[in-house]
Structure 1
Amino acid sequence: MSWRMPAETDPHERLWMAWPSGGYTLGDTQESAHEARAAWAAVANAARQFEPVTMAVRPEDRAIAEAYLDPRVDLLETALDDAWMRDIGPSFVLGTSGEAAPAGAPRLGAVDWVFNGWGAQDWASWEDDAGVARTVSEAAGAVRVPSALVNEGGGIQVDGLGTVLLTETVQLDPGRNPGATKAGVEAELARTIGARHAVWLPRGLTRDSQRFGTRGHVDLVAAIPRPGTLLVHVQHSPEHPDHEVTGEILEALRSSRTAEGKRWEVIELPAPAQLHDGEDWVDWSYINHTAVNGGLIACSFNDPQDEKALRILADAYRGRRVIAVDSRAIFSRGGGIHCITQQQPRALSAVRTPAPALGRS
């Protein structure tokens, strides 16, 4: 069976998330824990207005999650280390099989990448998170597509037509895939997600490249709102180190092509006006949004640039209702809205999980 990862704007069956349960995500105080839970719940509750949402949750945290979440959000109990579903969960794909489904019918697959804490970082734990992709795949009724590549969903962006965006500092990271080559990574992405053309970016944002970052996830710098079009994060302030970084990324993307050999229409999405959060240069990015059926859940930062960014997003995703969620609490923990969500495309699943397994008791 051959697999293809559809565009994130294609119809969804549901959206998957994971409940913040411990460690640095919850923090050391009740105030910090409430801040994290409220932020994750705000994203889930907004998305539930458009499509089904399933939240993976530790059994011992179920009651807490229920207190924050819309009652229509389904819960799936499982072991968790952390709450970044884009990275610990599977990347869903579609395939065609004449044996297990009617001829020509799309089948749901789920690529189970190796997850090792963003390159075996000394602050991360991943014993439980390494098994989340398999758990979600089974609950979704998907065909599991195992991969030996250490990768995360935030490390790739696709257009659904064979193009994949990625960064040299993630898939070629010695902490993830020692000795890996571009050709080897591209071959595995062709096998698992149907990528036939890779656009390699040199790196990601400055803060994301430091100790507590992912070492350069692409979903902070570029998104594909529709085939042939790129939204690109641009830091206009020369004071911020990302001014030079995003200039380099913008130049690389402007000179790149789609899988069809066409130049991209590039839309610049300016960074928030705030440059520093008191600890470091911010990596706040409006790029880190998530598309849902008929809508878009977008980041806001109580920033002067919010209104302009939301207008740009509404125009790029024409016909979708944009809901902004204050994402400062999520970014202070290492990511954004895209990082904590994972879309499941609409398809004919091999197995339909009984509703009670996903619903609330």
Structure 2
Amino acid sequence: MGTFEVSRRGLFAATGLGLLGTTLLACAPAGSVEPRRPSGSAQPSTDRRMGAEWDSHALTFMSWPTALIWGEDVRFVRDDIANVARAIAEFEPVVMLASPSDVDDAAARCGSAVEIVELPVDDLWARDTAPVFVDGAHGVEGVDFSFNGWGDKQAHPNDALVAQTLLREFEIPRIPAGLVGEGGSLETDGLGTLLVTESSLVNDNRNPGLSRDEIEERLVTLLGMRKVIWFDGVYGEDITDAHIDSLVRFTAPGVVLLDTPGKGSPDDVWSRSSAQARSVLEEATDADGHGFEVIDLPQPDFGEIRGSGDDFLASYVNFFVGNGAVFVPEFGDRRADDRARGILQDHFPDREIVSLDIDTVASGGGGIHCATHDLPGTP
């Protein structure tokens, strides 16, 4: 694949935005696949639409991890993030946000295919700190969900400002959400159906005093949804309070992959959360009244994987759908890794399945999806 050169203004022309700035160098996309839509489906009733991840991306945002958060492991997690960025850049532009003192290191590790933008960050979780992008009446808009360190579990003064700073830098209209939440807590089919966990939104550490109904009403308006499907989730057992993007993901309207326990997994809060999600999906219908096809995406055998630790996230469901490719973690359990790749290939037959070793990222409780945030549009 060859490289191309285009200014930010030109890159974002398809979104209707006027963007000032420097030159982007990235690898040309391998092509995008039109989203699979059921015939006769209606669009969301508001003039906003949060698209599906398989829709075309103008680019992917990522964030460069800092030593303040990762300490002596920072060089290893930076290797993981640089590898992810370079892999995605083979299919679509990647913009890496990096604090001023880390710009040179990010540029050296990521290479010329990734654009480095100087913007103060604390950690790598761009899915949660970047704004949630929606198509509005006049182009792309960014919903700022006021990131607060996943319910003030950690201090993230820079990350708390990433959404509004990024929107100002790229001249994208900002929509204050009036809610606290994260991008990893939202999963949509692009046709007005939203999947969320109660534990990550109906929680006093984020939205004290707001009921589920009140939060749902705001999500519907902010994101252009027609139906919200709630799962219990898990309160207080991980830093995110059980984001949806490690539990249930769409691969097409009406089709979801469900994270399920792997071989030898105990009967614990996570296996029970998976079972509860299955029971919800078996009874639920989407915004068009259609039921769900639920496909199991089992975790690896924890006795066979390379990684370890209480926070290690061994979920293949935390994959990222890019232009022409799907990026999925591999954990060292060869049989489970191969099975996950095969399941994803079945559901994304026109995209390349790219497996990546992200063991250090996973040790921090996240995955490839948590580390990426797509901007809708045409590269």
* 1:95-124 CA-partner distances (Å, limit 9, x unpaired): 124xxxxxxxxx111111111110111xx1
User: In 2, Cα distance between the equivalents of 1:92 and 1:9?
Assistant: 14
Is contact 1:163-1:259 (8 Å) kept? yes
Is contact 1:155-1:218 (8 Å) kept? yes
Q: Does 1:117 align with 2:182?
A: no
User: In 1, Cα distance between the equivalents of 2:311 and 2:167?
Assistant: 37
Q: Report the equivalent of 1:155.
A: 185
User: In 2, Cα distance between the equivalents of 1:214 and 1:96?
Assistant: 32
- Which residue, out of 338, 342, 345, partners 1:311? 342
- Which residue, out of 17, 22, 44, partners 2:62? 17
Cα distance, 1:290–1:239 mapped onto 2, change above 3 Å: same
Cα distance, 1:72–1:278 mapped onto 2, change above 3 Å: closer
- State the Cα RMSD in Å: 1.8
Q: Does 1:333 align with 2:374?
A: no
Is contact 1:94-1:347 (8 Å) kept? no
* 1:316-352 CA-partner distances (Å, limit 9, x unpaired): 112000111112211101211000100000069xxxx
Q: What is the Cα deviation at residue 147 of structure 1?
A: 1.2
TM-score of the superposition, structure 2-length normalised?
Answer: 0.83
User: In 2, Cα distance between the equivalents of 1:249 and 1:282?
Assistant: 21
Q: Report the equivalent of 2:140.
A: 108
User: In 2, Cα distance between the equivalents of 1:339 and 1:15?
Assistant: 12
User: Could you tell me which amino acid in structure 2 is paired with residue 16 of structure 1?
Assistant: F
Q: Report the equivalent of 1:86.
A: 127
User: In 1, Cα distance between the equivalents of 2:213 and 2:365?
Assistant: 30
- Residue correspondence of structure 1 range 13-52 to structure 2 within 5 A: 13-24=58-69, 26-27=70-71, 29=72, 32-52=73-93
Q: What is the Cα deviation at residue 225 of structure 1?
A: 1.1
Q: Report the equivalent of 1:323.
A: 354
* 1:66-89 CA-partner distances (Å, limit 9, x unpaired): 121031201111111222110010
Q: Report the equivalent of 1:239.
A: 266
* 1:181-205 CA-partner distances (Å, limit 9, x unpaired): 121111111121111101100014x
Cα distance, 1:324–1:238 mapped onto 2, change above 3 Å: closer
- Residue correspondence of structure 1 range 134-173 to structure 2 within 5 A: 134-173=164-203
User: Could you tell me which amino acid in structure 2 is paired with residue 325 of structure 1?
Assistant: L
Paired residue secondary structure (2:338): helix
User: Could you tell me which amino acid in structure 1 is paired with residue 350 of structure 2?
Assistant: G
- Which residue, out of 252, 256, 263, partners 1:230? 256
User: In 1, Cα distance between the equivalents of 2:374 and 2:228?
Assistant: 21
Paired residue secondary structure (1:150): coil
Q: Does 1:7 align with 2:52?
A: yes
The gaps in structure 1 that reach 5 residues or longer are 98-106, 349-361
Q: Report the equivalent of 2:20.
A: none
Cα distance, 1:162–1:144 mapped onto 2, change above 3 Å: same
Q: What is the Cα deviation at residue 209 of structure 1?
A: 4.2
User: Could you tell me which amino acid in structure 1 is paired with residue 74 of structure 2?
Assistant: A
Is contact 1:108-1:347 (8 Å) kept? no
Paired residue secondary structure (1:114): coil
User: Could you tell me which amino acid in structure 1 is paired with residue 373 of structure 2?
Assistant: Q
Paired residue secondary structure (1:343): strand
Is contact 2:313-2:363 (8 Å) kept? no
User: In 1, Cα distance between the equivalents of 2:221 and 2:198?
Assistant: 19
User: Could you tell me which amino acid in structure 1 is paired with residue 157 of structure 2?
Assistant: E
User: Could you tell me which amino acid in structure 2 is paired with residue 228 of structure 1?
Assistant: G
User: In 1, Cα distance between the equivalents of 2:308 and 2:120?
Assistant: 34
Q: What is the Cα deviation at residue 245 of structure 1?
A: 2.5
* 1:120-151 CA-partner distances (Å, limit 9, x unpaired): 11xx1122111101122233332211111001
Q: What is the Cα deviation at residue 240 of structure 1?
A: 4.9
Q: Report the equivalent of 2:212.
A: 182
- Which residue, out of 265, 268, 274, partners 2:302? 274
Q: Report the equivalent of 2:28.
A: none
User: In 1, Cα distance between the equivalents of 2:243 and 2:271?
Assistant: 17
Q: Report the equivalent of 2:39.
A: none
Is contact 2:312-2:364 (8 Å) kept? no
Q: What is the Cα deviation at residue 269 of structure 1?
A: 0.3
Equivalent pairs counted in the alignment come to 329
* 1:5-34 CA-partner distances (Å, limit 9, x unpaired): 00010000000000001333x22x2xx222
Moved more, 61-70 or 232-241: 232-241
User: In 2, Cα distance between the equivalents of 1:157 and 1:127?
Assistant: 26
Q: Report the equivalent of 2:279.
A: 251
Cα distance, 1:209–1:232 mapped onto 2, change above 3 Å: farther
Is contact 1:81-1:125 (8 Å) kept? no
Cα distance, 1:331–1:281 mapped onto 2, change above 3 Å: closer
Is contact 1:18-1:57 (8 Å) kept? yes
User: In 2, Cα distance between the equivalents of 1:293 and 1:271?
Assistant: 25
